[in-house]
Amino acid sequence: MAKDVKFGDTARQKLLSGVNVLADAVKVTLGPKGRNVVLDKSFGAPTVTKDGVSVAKEIELEDKFENMGAQMVKEVASQTSDVAGDGTTTATVLAQSILNEGLKSVAAGMNPMDLKRGVDKAVAAVVDEIEKDSVPCEDTKALAQVGTISANSDQDVGDKIAEAMDKVGKDGVITVEDGSGLEMELDTVEGMQFDRGYLSAYFINNQDSMSADLENPLILLFDKKISNIRECFLYWRAWQKPVVLFWLLLKMSKVRPSLL
């Protein structure tokens, strides 16, 4: 397939045009008083959202060079969402500003690599200052305020987030699931919970609930290959307890349990 190749200022301006189209659509959602964006869907009703990354994901430009610029900024928003869970619109606005001002400097004759190194140093300095000025959330009220802003100024959602974090602590895990009712519900599960089941139905020992219920079992978690498990069996047999094996994959993002 033939490739359309562009160089120099022509290529930069095309990329910048795509960056600005996406950023201009996303940045209107910035802050607690940001505006909503209506997204058309190929099926079903349009979606109204104030989430920057949701807006960014829906944008595809017809011009492939402009679309490449849009995809670069989309990646900024996506990575920010993965790392921080919020701040996607702020990251998009910053990326747009850095690119616009950076290309002005390049057009004026500045070396692009020197510019890149300068941006890296500036980012490190700004991050240090932000960390110095940051204020930890010490109480439930502060958590509720942060949660309310992240939930598009929905006080009920903010209060529920604060309640959940207060129960599980800063090291706890909070999972959000769609419910069938009209009210939000908060369930607290002690211990750890993995979204995986047994490998075989033969592990079921509770026919009423079709589940494998084990009391006070031995638990082995590992992420390496086991070439000889015979010695482990001899050790487990001495304890006279059931054994649960967990294969840990991709830093606990996937868990495959097996019962012995």
- For residue 52, the domain's CATH number is 1.10.560.10
| Residue 196 covered by a domain | no
| Residue 3 covered by a domain | no
Give the residue among 194, 199, 204 at the shortest CA–CA distance from 258.
199
| Residue 236 covered by a domain | yes
| Interatomic CA distance for residues 256 and 27, integer angstroms | 41
**pTM summary value:** 0.65
> Would strands 243-249 and 218-222 be described as parallel, antiparallel, or unpaired?
parallel
| Residue 1 covered by a domain | no
Residues 22 and 65 reside in one and the same domain: yes
> What is the Cα Rg of the chain in Å?
25
Q: Write out the chain's pLDDT in tens, 260 residues.
A: 677 787 888 888 899 999 999 999 999 888 777 888 888 887 888 888 888 888 888 888 888 889 999 999 988 888 888 888 778 889 999 999 999 999 999 888 899 999 999 999 999 999 999 999 988 888 888 889 888 877 777 888 889 988 888 888 877 888 888 878 788 888 887 777 666 677 778 778 888 888 888 778 777 777 777 777 777 777 777 777 776 665 544 344 344 444 44
| Residue 62 covered by a domain | yes
Give residues with Cβ within 8 angstroms of 66, minimum separation 6.
14, 15, 17, 18, 21
Position 120 scores a pLDDT of 94
- Domain final position from 133, 156, 179: 133
- Domain final position from 98, 117, 133: 133
Domains contained in the chain, number: 3
Position 244 scores a pLDDT of 66
Domain that holds residue 177: 135-191
Instruction: Give residue 41's identity as a one-letter amino acid code.
Output: K
- Domain final position from 133, 153, 179: 133
Residues 80 and 24 reside in one and the same domain: yes
The gap from C-alpha 42 to its chain's centroid, in whole angstroms, comes to 25
| Residue 2 covered by a domain | no
Residues 88 and 13 reside in one and the same domain: yes
| Interatomic CA distance for residues 53 and 84, integer angstroms | 12
Q: In CATH, what number is assigned to the domain containing residue 154?
A: 3.30.260.10
| Residue 39 covered by a domain | yes
Residues 29 and 59 reside in one and the same domain: yes
Residues 20 and 121 reside in one and the same domain: yes
DSSP code per residue over 169-218 = -TT--------SSSS------SS---S---S-GGG--BTTTTB---SS-E
Measured in degrees and rounded to the nearest 5, phi and psi for residue 244 equal: -115, 125
Residues 33 and 54 reside in one and the same domain: yes
| Residue 102 covered by a domain | yes
Residues 124 and 32 reside in one and the same domain: yes
Give the residue among 152, 157, 151, 149 at the shortest CA–CA distance from 179.
157
Give the residue among 29, 28, 57 at the shortest CA–CA distance from 41.
57
Position 6 scores a pLDDT of 79
